[in-house]
């Protein structure tokens, strides 16, 4: 019996929940919001993705909450422990939340501030873009330091922290992190390669290619 509906599309925050549904073989229907626009708008007035409606009609928003719930739907408790941390290790569980939050909020917001104007999605302001790029570099440095000492972000194995952070970083690799940048961040790139090739995420990366250079400023 279906446990609910996940609304997901091309947007980056929907990659992990969709991959969890697929690879944990969860009885959840994945629907593109564009194909169910009326229900989506009625249930989710903010019209953000991902979102989830369970079989009783209860709704969940916020990618971190949805990812957590989807992993808990999995009957394989070893998989739950792997991805979320064990209940008898609350510090590790909290670290997994910590890295997800840093990626999903601070990092993604600053990456958007940097590449949005370069892509022409927002008005271009050179100083604002340069400031955002610096903030991206500061946050990424925290990941790089961690990954220079650890294969994965938490607990020496693939967790939800890696999945969410890797998916989030994809937008950096799409628009900002050119060849030179990657050469300066070997541990982060090593980890990105590892996580994007994982059984859970690899399907999402079909057709992915690294860029040579960061997007250029629009010509005035």
> Whose Cβ is closer to ligand GSH: residue 12's or residue 114's?
12
Backbone angles phi, psi at 31, to 5 degrees: -125, 140
For residue 168, the minimal CB distance to ligand GSH (Å) is 9
Least distance (Å) from ligand GSH to the CB of residue 127?
Answer: 25
Nearest approach, Cβ of 217 to ligand GSH (angstroms)?
24
**CB within 8 Å of 218: residues ≥ 6 apart:** 117, 118, 120, 124
Query: Which residue, 63 or 95, has its beta carbon nearer to ligand GSH?
Result: 63
* Closer Cβ to ligand GSH, 77 or 105, answer by number: 105
Alpha-carbon distance of 87 to 61, in angstroms, equals 24
Q: Which is nearer to ligand GSH, 43 or 48 (CB)?
A: 48
Q: Which of 3, 9, 65, 69 is nearest to 36 (CA)?
A: 9
Nearer to ligand GSH, 63 or 113 (CB): 63
Distance CA 50, CA 17 (A): 8
| Cβ pair 65, 71 in contact under 8 A | no
* Binding stretches for ligand GSH (CB under 6 A): 11-13, 47-49, 62-63, 104
Closest contact distance (angstroms) between CB of 61 and ligand GSH is: 7
At closest approach, how far in Å is the CB of 216 from ligand GSH?
24
Q: Quote the CA–CA distance of 109 and 104 in Å, as a whole number.
A: 8
Rounded to a whole number of angstroms, the minimum distance from the CB of residue 98 to ligand GSH is 15
Nearest C-alpha neighbor of 48 from the set 129, 59, 3, 58? 59
Task: Give whichever of 81 and 100 is closer to ligand GSH, judged by the CB atom.
Answer: 100
Distances (CA, A) of 106 to 76, 110, 111, 196: 32, 6, 9, 21
């Amino acid at each position: 019996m279906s446990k609910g509906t996940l609304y997901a599309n091309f947007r980056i925050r929907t990659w992990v929940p969709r991959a969890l549904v697929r690879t944990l073989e969860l009885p959840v229907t994945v629907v593109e919001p564009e194909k169910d626009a009326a229900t989506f708008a009625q249930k989710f007035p903010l019209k953000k993705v991902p979102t989830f409606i369970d079989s009783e009609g209860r709704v969940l928003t916020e990618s971190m909450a949805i990812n957590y719930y989807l992993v808990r739907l999995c009957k394989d408790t070893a998989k739950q422990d792997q991805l979320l941390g064990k209940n008898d290790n609350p510090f590790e569980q909290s670290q997994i939340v910590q890295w997800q939050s840093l990626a999903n909020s601070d990092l993604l917001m600053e990456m958007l501030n940097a590449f949005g104007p370069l892509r022409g999605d927002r008005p271009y302001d050179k100083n604002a873009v340069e400031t955002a790029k610096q903030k991206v570099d500061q946050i990424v440095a925290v990941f790089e330091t961690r990954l220079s000492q650890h294969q994965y972000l938490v607990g020496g194995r693939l967790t939800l922290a890696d999945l969410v952070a890797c998916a989030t970083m994809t937008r950096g690799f799409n628009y900002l992190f050119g060849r030179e940048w990657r050469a300066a961040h070997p541990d982060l790139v090593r980890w990105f390669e590892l996580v994007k090739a994982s059984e859970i995420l690899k399907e999402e990366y079909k057709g992915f290619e690294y860029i040579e250079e960061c997007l250029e400023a629009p010509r005035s």
